[in-house]
Structure 1
Amino acid sequence: MDADDGEGFGDFRTRKKNIFDDDVSVEAAKKIITSARFDDDDLDDDMEILDLGSSTTSVKFSAGTAPSSKTMPDLSSLATPASSSVPSPANLRINPSAAEPRHSFGSFQKAAGHVRSQSLTIAPLKSGGDMQFPKVNMLRGSNTGSNSSLTIEEAVGTMGRKFGSMDVDQMQQEIIQLRKQLLAARKERWTKMPVDLTLRRIMKGEPYSLENYRALEDKLSLLDKAVTLMDGNAITAAVLHLKKTVKRATFQQELMLRPVAANHYLAYLRGHFEHAELIDTLSMLGRSEEAAIVKYRLACSTGDINTKVSSLKACLRAHFEAEPSLAGDASLIREHIDLLERQRPIEDSDARLEAEGRTKVFLDFPRRFALVNMPVTTTLFYCCLYHYHLQENSFASPVSIKKRHELPERQFVWTAVSARAKAKGWTDIEQLLTAKGWFGGKKLKAAIGFGKVVDILHRFQAPHDILAKYLELVEDLDTRLTLAKKTDCKKAMIETLVKQKDRAGVEEFARKYSATIEAEYARRVLRDEAIRWK
């Protein structure tokens, strides 16, 4: 390196000016480039311009034109990103096999292993006084073997639009306008705006600030005008600002005076699942029943059975027992707690027996669900199916469940008949429907009616002789005939037609089922002279 080269670059390093800085004009960049001689290592360390993708300015050299020291190219576009997909111009050749130049933006080895995606290498200047157009190596990773012959204007046009002086002026004007807007926003933050203007901004969804409403009168004025406008967002924002900036007692007192604002605040708490605050606010507003229901729902949503029982007991003490108006509902909560405490031991015992595989009823009817958290009617059906014969002092006894939860006789009979019909326990059904008559006699009696009993037995595919037995107990003959046809109980059909003295119906039956035993029975009935037909 010549001595003057070292001095020139030393002067450039002293100034520490980067031609891509915002405060460097085009004329200053020209002077810097014309007066500087670049050294290989210094420029690689001091001028971080190798990352061509980070520059927004592009070089504008005319192809085939050798600029001199007096006439420099237009630098309005400088350092256009060089991509492997864009070929090199005619005077900018990719030359991977060329020897390492003496003056370059980094050596060839350094550029090839550079961490950035693109790098630039300028060939040594020719001697002769005037600056010659340099050769350029553009390396991108290991892709160093592609050649092309596009001018740099064509390459720049391919990569993106060039920015002229008018574009720069327009961007400067936009920057000035944005700075004014920023200063105005900063100033407005600390200025208390009129309440109407703030509410209008809230309703339009524009930026707003409530920090400057520090006096209680201003906060209440904001809330009252929001209520007058009947805008939910404005009311909620005013209420939350009031809550955040005043004492809790003051907030509750003002909220009680404004029912509309209180309803919006409660809706906000429900939507954000702030259940503790919701319950406290409802209690404060005197809406104890709503607070109790919210607490009860929270307790029921608990998955763990032990935690659920504890939460229900706490809810019972805190809300239902403490409020006289909820005394009737308190008994229901107690029944719910008793049901859960009854289901826990039954579930544990039955799960163990089913796992052992030695109990016949669990082999014949495998359990499809866990008993815990089931309703009382489902629990009764479960116990009638698996534990029908247990004594009343047992947790799983159906009679015990009926008495504890005060189930009506109709509901108990319907559930028990369904469960025993599923288990094919026809004898149990008969015993269930047997009642004591006068003078110690016994007779069949169904609280749900024998028509419903027949429907249940037919649904669980009871034998025809069982169906016929209960069909005879249906008092209404038309209903009995309809049920007999529905269940296809032919003998019951004939006997019902005889009781109705419908000879034509019996004859039609005999023709329809001519090849059956029941048809022969119908013909014998028709020949019986003791029957008086209509």
Structure 2
Amino acid sequence: MDEEDDYWNTSETKEKAFSFDDDVLSPQEILAIGKNQSPGQSDDLFTSTSISNVKTVTLPLSSLVSPKVLDLILLAQSGKDPKPVQADPEQTVAVTIKRLVLGRPASLYGHRSLKSKTELLEAALAVGDGNAILTVVLFLIQTLNKKLVYELLSSRPLALNQYISFLQNEGKISELTDLLTMLGRSPDAAMYQFQQQMRAQGGSVDGSLRKVTNLVANHFNQPGTDAHQAKMLADYVKLLEWQKFAAKPILDHKSALYCLAYCCTNHWHEGAGNMMSPLTLCQRQQISPLQYDWVVLNVHAKSGKWDIVESLFTKKDWLGRTTVSSHIPVESLLARLSELKASRQLLATCVNKVAASHDRLRLALAYKIHAVVIETYAKQKDRQALTNYKMTLNPQSEDYILVENTLRDNAVKWKN
């Protein structure tokens, strides 16, 4: 018995201090531990039973658990007990869990039977302490057949999700995919492999193409697989095939929209059917008309090719008037054109596209499209508003003169 134990076992100390005797936890202590989780612990991380809801933690494990608990985790992973705590022959599951939760040294190796280890896991789950659950799971992994551990975890979603989160955080994709495959969740395992491939992008496009093609063939061409995931991977395979054909290092592992911007810049006049044509790439990768318009607008406007922008986004109606034709919502289009320093005429054409007069006037005032403001006030027969607006313009400017001419127009029957 060391000095610490001597101190805690004196009668005077026992009367004054909280007892840490290795006895069975009282119901009140279990409830208190369950309610007082370690700082930063998130209930959500351990309550979801769906793999899709497990949150990937990017912080290092050391920032989530106390140093003492981290030592216990590393000890459990090593399979060794270099400085074993002398286990009490009568040590109970409750005492072990109490020590884990409080961050005190605890030897899990005293629990040798499958029954005792299962009870240890159940007790950690009952308390709800994530650090204790993870420590026990890692202990089970080290001391039991993995298949048996996976069977225990499959019926205990809280422990399963905690272990999955740990494997994700540590980047142990091989162990994670083994776990999910053994649980009959091959598509989930394949998606984790795909995510790992995306995070570790590099090397040749051809190598990535082979890996992703194998994933699709082995896991996503089977009945019951997630249709959205299967389509996403199939589209990615097509993009890698296109990048392999293009043979441009600048395009390797880039997004479809990045590749579209490259084609708009360098292959704008390629005819449909040519692999490098923007239209061909859009069709191949199923890029939406809205995405296409947005990329084309930004690529050509930034390079000063306003003739291309105007030819694509404006057209003549049957009365010979110029109108806007775009899949981009008109207010978003107007805001972006203004940022890109489009001509006043093009901005005016966009503002005139707005059907409601009050919205048209609001936008014209916001972007200082004076001709539209003047025209709108005249149509509203609001002489006072037009007079007030004239005072905001530079005298003798073209717009100032337009206001004066409009105010002198006897054809307008002003309401004020």
Work out whether the TM-score is over 0.5.
yes
Is 2:397 the partner of 1:516?
yes
Residue 198 of structure 2 is matched in structure 1 by: 300
Taking a change above 3 Å as real, the CA distance of residues 339 and 234 of structure 1, as seen in their structure-2 partners, is: same
Task: Decide whether the 8 Å contact of 2:85 with 2:106 is kept in 1.
Answer: no
Is 2:232 the partner of 1:332?
yes
After superposition, residues 336-355 of structure 1 pair within 5 angstroms as 336-343=236-243, 346=246, 348=248
After superposition, residues 47-58 of structure 1 pair within 5 angstroms as none
2:305 counterpart (412, 418, 425): 425
Taking a change above 3 Å as real, the CA distance of residues 435 and 408 of structure 1, as seen in their structure-2 partners, is: farther
Q: Which has the higher contact order (CA 8 A, sep 6+)?
A: 2
2:140 counterpart (242, 257, 272): 242
Taking a change above 3 Å as real, the CA distance of residues 274 and 532 of structure 1, as seen in their structure-2 partners, is: same
Identity %: 28
The separation in 2 between residues aligned to 1:485 and 1:210, in whole angstroms, is 73
Is 2:385 the partner of 1:505?
yes
The separation in 2 between residues aligned to 1:412 and 1:187, in whole angstroms, is 66
Residue 151 of structure 2 is matched in structure 1 by: 253
Q: RMSD across aligned C-alpha pairs, in angstroms?
A: 3.6
Taking a change above 3 Å as real, the CA distance of residues 254 and 434 of structure 1, as seen in their structure-2 partners, is: same
Task: Decide whether the 8 Å contact of 2:315 with 2:325 is kept in 1.
Answer: yes
Taking a change above 3 Å as real, the CA distance of residues 495 and 286 of structure 1, as seen in their structure-2 partners, is: same
2:222 counterpart (322, 338, 353): 322
The residue type paired with residue 140 of structure 2 is L
Alpha-carbon shift at residue 281 of structure 1 (Å): 1.2
The separation in 2 between residues aligned to 1:283 and 1:187, in whole angstroms, is 36
The separation in 2 between residues aligned to 1:290 and 1:323, in whole angstroms, is 14
The separation in 1 between residues aligned to 2:209 and 2:115, in whole angstroms, is 47
Alpha-carbon shift at residue 196 of structure 1 (Å): 4.2
Taking a change above 3 Å as real, the CA distance of residues 435 and 513 of structure 1, as seen in their structure-2 partners, is: closer
Alpha-carbon shift at residue 296 of structure 1 (Å): 2.2
Task: Decide whether the 8 Å contact of 1:203 with 1:231 is kept in 2.
Answer: yes
The residue type paired with residue 274 of structure 1 is K
Gaps of 5+ in 2: 1-82
Structure 1 counterpart SS, 2:404: helix
Deviations 1:226-260 (A, max 9, x none): 44444444443443343333334333333334434
Aligned length: 328
Task: Decide whether the 8 Å contact of 1:417 with 1:453 is kept in 2.
Answer: no
Taking a change above 3 Å as real, the CA distance of residues 221 and 346 of structure 1, as seen in their structure-2 partners, is: same
* TM-score normalised by the chain length of structure 1: 0.52
1:310 counterpart (179, 197, 210): 210
Alpha-carbon shift at residue 300 of structure 1 (Å): 0.6
The residue type paired with residue 531 of structure 1 is V
Answer with 1 or 2: which has the greater Rg: 1
After superposition, residues 277-426 of structure 1 pair within 5 angstroms as 277-288=175-186, 290-304=188-202, 305-306=204-205, 307-322=207-222, 324-343=224-243, 346=246, 348=248, 370-426=250-306
Taking a change above 3 Å as real, the CA distance of residues 495 and 318 of structure 1, as seen in their structure-2 partners, is: same
The separation in 1 between residues aligned to 2:395 and 2:408, in whole angstroms, is 16
Structure 2 counterpart SS, 1:325: coil
More helix by share: 2
Structure 2 counterpart SS, 1:457: helix
Alpha-carbon shift at residue 400 of structure 1 (Å): 1.9
